Amino acid sequence: MIFAHSEPCNPKKDEGCVAKNAALHGLVTDSLTSTSGSLESSNSCPLICFHDNGTRFGIIERYDNPRLASSEYILYGKVEADIMGAPGRGIISSFYLQSDDLDEIDIAEVFGDNEGVFQTNFFVKGDVATYGDGAYHPVTTSTTHNFHRYGVRWTEKEIEWSIDGTVVRHKAGGGLPTSPMRVILSLWVGGDETNNPGTVAWAGGLTDFSKLPFSMYAKNVFVENYSKGDYYVYGKESGVSVENETRANSFLSRLGITRPAQ
């Protein structure tokens, strides 16, 4: 699994966008201690630094937003990682899944100024009306001074969130994400005064930039894809089709598309 930093088109908003997402085959484990063979990022150190203790994500200046995102997608699966969140008011350490058409599962939002809790959430096609689906979970030891293992198990029928191997939330039924998603780790400033006031309040208040830098650590990523195939192909009006490379290109050709969105 390659971690990269790119922005694909959104089939939900762009009539000319048909997603052809490369599927992750089977399962992958990555220590995140080096770039050897499995990781890449548009950010270099000091924003993204690889250490024996995992990858350090650093906010060195005000508008920094270091991020790692897998280039391959899963359609249902299990994802886990060990994360030590960055301390600091308004600083958010994020671990989530997201599709090109903005389905999203927040595995963990770790708050820099509230080390006794983390948040889980999910969204469907970028619908912000579902912010009410968020839930807060108490943690017995600090989320910003200790590593915790955050995880999710996502199927067609349910989502199950966990911390340190213990399930803390279960959501079943309809209205769940259904598009193939990438694995993303990021560090960002929710408490910047230029953000929406609701975002600033949610993040814990305005960030004090005199306390720069802010650092998050992540290691031991595990990703298992529950579906088969080489690619996931879908557009604005079509459902997700799981295909091998030949069938995926044939599908796109029938739509008159010769250079698909990746």
Q: Which are the catalytic amino acids?
A: 104, 109
- Using an 8 Å Cβ cutoff, are 184 and 68 in contact? yes
Q: Say how far apart CA 60 and CA 187 lie, in whole Å.
A: 11
Q: Say how far apart CA 162 and CA 135 lie, in whole Å.
A: 12
- Using an 8 Å Cβ cutoff, are 113 and 90 in contact? yes
**Cα Rg, the chain, nearest whole Å:** 18
Written as one string, the DSSP assignment of 38-82 is TB--S--TTTEEEETTEEEEEE-STT---EEEESSBBSSEEEEEE
DSSP 3: E
- Count CB-CB contacts under 10 A for residue 7: 7
Q: Say how far apart CA 36 and CA 74 lie, in whole Å.
A: 22
Q: Say how far apart CA 3 and CA 79 lie, in whole Å.
A: 14
Q: Say how far apart CA 211 and CA 222 lie, in whole Å.
A: 33
Q: Say how far apart CA 123 and CA 176 lie, in whole Å.
A: 8
